[in-house]
Amino acid sequence: MSNRSSFNEFLLLAFADTRELQLLHFLLFLSIYLAALLGNSLIITVIACDSRLHTPMYFFLLNLSLLDLGSISTTVPKSMVNSLWDTRAISYSGCAAQVFLVVFLFGGEFSLLTIMAYDRFIAICRPLHYGTIMGGRACVKMAAAAWGSGILNAVLHTGNTFSIPLCHGNVLDQFFCEIPQILRLSCSESYLREAGALVLSVSLFFGCFVFIVLTYVQIFTAVLRIPSEQGRHKAFSMCLPHLAVVSLFISTAMFAYLKPPSISSPALDLMVAVLYSVVPPAVNPLIYSMRNKELKDGLRKVISWTSFSNGKIDFSL
């Protein structure tokens, strides 16, 4: 890569200059990270262990939790280590790996959220055809397509970004390696190829966003026609958590990558990055389990089974 010889590391944004605030940032991110690990790991365990949850909706939710675990583990731990050791450095290869994983995981997550909207549409608007359309093989292919699209997107953007010569230093105004921040360091006109790739990806994502919106218009139209109040409540309980996750993720991510430079500032960029990269993986398990009775019952079953197993072990000793 043409700009590799100029420097061997990037300098990430420091949250604070004083040692006390650095430790506060470390503890805050540690709490969020542990909450994300616990919540997503519980969802994965419950869905894997409870045979009643072996359905397309929960299969996609399991994949979403895996992507959430990967995405928050890509950005937050490095920022925590930097605050703990009072440093800002990330190696060139580490930055490239971070860009690849961020684009891969977030791209895969967005594709999966689109598939989950389609799954809800078929379940509510075409219930008689649900078993045929959303069979096991079809679900595996859809999930594989989501992961595969993330990989292809990551290869494209990582290759383009790190083939661009950088003329404006190595200081990034972000707590992780984010493509827009790297492009700001590029030589004039040399970033146009990656900017074009970003526009293409954003256009595809916007197309998926329009698909999700139109899907939910049809879903809510169908739900309002359900005569039973209990039926409407069940349908809304399946759709509203997904819609909340989609709204938070898409609105903040699109703002981060499409906002005009005139309104950009380190504080705003940092806040938006935290909202789309740190908050969703931590709150998704809470959002999906809050109104989901089946998931709550599965969690109680796993906890009771674990307690029973521990009790048996203690008794035998």
Q: What is the pLDDT along the chain (317 residues), one digit of tens a residue?
A: 444 445 788 999 877 778 888 899 899 999 999 999 999 999 999 998 888 888 998 999 999 999 999 999 999 999 999 988 888 899 999 999 999 999 999 989 989 989 998 998 998 888 888 988 999 899 999 999 999 999 998 998 898 888 888 888 888 988 999 888 888 888 766 566 666 777 777 777 888 888 988 998 888 888 888 777 777 777 777 777 777 777 777 777 777 766 666 677 777 778 888 888 888 888 888 887 766 777 777 777 777 766 655 555 443 32
311, part of any domain = no
72, part of any domain = yes
User: What is the rounded distance in angstroms from the CA atom of residue 154 to the CA atom of residue 156?
Assistant: 5
Three-class secondary structure of residue 91 per DSSP: strand
315, part of any domain = no
43, part of any domain = yes
Question: CATH number of the domain that 94 lies in?
Answer: 1.20.1070.10
Q: Is-contact 103 179, C-beta < 8 A? A: yes
110, part of any domain = yes
pLDDT at 3: 47
212, part of any domain = yes
Total domains in the fold of the chain: 1
The beta-strand segments (E) located in the chain are: 9-11, 89-91
221, part of any domain = yes
DSSP string, 143-196: HHHHHHHHHHHHHHHHHHHTTS-B-S-SB-SSSS--HHHHHTTBPTTTTHHHHH
Give the number of other Cβ atoms within 10 Å of residue 11's Cβ: 16
Three-class secondary structure of residue 90 per DSSP: strand
Question: What is the span of the domain harbouring residue 140?
Answer: 9-258+266-293
240, part of any domain = yes
